[in-house]
Amino acid sequence: MFKTLYFYEPGSLNPQAIKLAQHPEVSLAIWRRPALPELVSFLQVYVLAGGADICFESSLDQLDQTVINALIQAGASRDPDWVLLHAEIAKLGQVFAALTSARAMRIELNIVTGPHCTRFHADYNLSRLLCTYVGPGTQWTSHKNVNWSQGDTPARVLGVYDESRVQQLECFEVAWLKGRLHHDVQGYGQVHRSPDLPIGQPFRILLKFDQI
């Protein structure tokens, strides 16, 4: 019923790919891209030094400056690693705006240290952009593998039929998930869950964009 679309080429976060991701039959679009080791190292140091979640809202026309202000509040300096983080958030914010035509968005850089949305579910939103930098990525499965309740409006996610068909995002992959309120997915939405933290992995770090 709904499809997943992959983009493999470097630099594929472009207008042509965005147009393909907006197709009504696509519920999940994934851009595969190489990791930036310097950003991973910086974020790990940030967390281990006591850094907290960074959460803020921004209009599209003020996105660049709002990101700067939010990072300054989190302790940013002119260090190249902070500049790199700013560029990453601002770039993905522009991508999210192009995908959704959103004029405003909520942006969260989350440090997850315990159980968090570990049951399969579809979000009650229009759409969400996710990227994991440290730790295991978000898990997802196809629409056909979901056991949906019958007779409920909207249908509830009861579970999945085959756990072996559950897939997982890699670090630095960018994923756009259409939610239950998106007109393309008829109240269902892309089903996903947060992974459990493996032994020896004290946290995961992910970036999230939502329309507001």
Write the pLDDT tens digit of every residue in 165-185. Answer: 999 999 999 999 999 999 999
CA atoms within a 13 Å half-sphere pointing along the CA-CB vector of 193: 19
38-86 pLDDT, tens per residue? 999 999 999 999 999 999 999 999 999 999 999 999 999 989 999 999 9
Mean pLDDT value across residues 131-142: 96
| Res 116 pLDDT > 90 | no
* Residue 61: burial class (beta carbons within 10 Å; 0-12, 13-18, 19+): exposed
The whole-number pLDDT of residue 199 equals 87
* Structural domain of 92: 3-211
186 pLDDT band (50/70/90 cuts)? confident
Q: Model pTM?
A: 0.94
Chain centroid offset of residue 165 CA: 20
The whole-number pLDDT of residue 69 equals 97
CATH code for the domain of 101 = 2.60.120
**HEC letters along 74-125:** CCCCCCHHHHHHHHHHHHHHHHHHHHHCCCEEEEEEEEECCCCCCCCECCCC
| Res 7 pLDDT > 80 | yes
| Res 117 pLDDT > 70 | no
Please state the domain count of the chain. Answer: 1
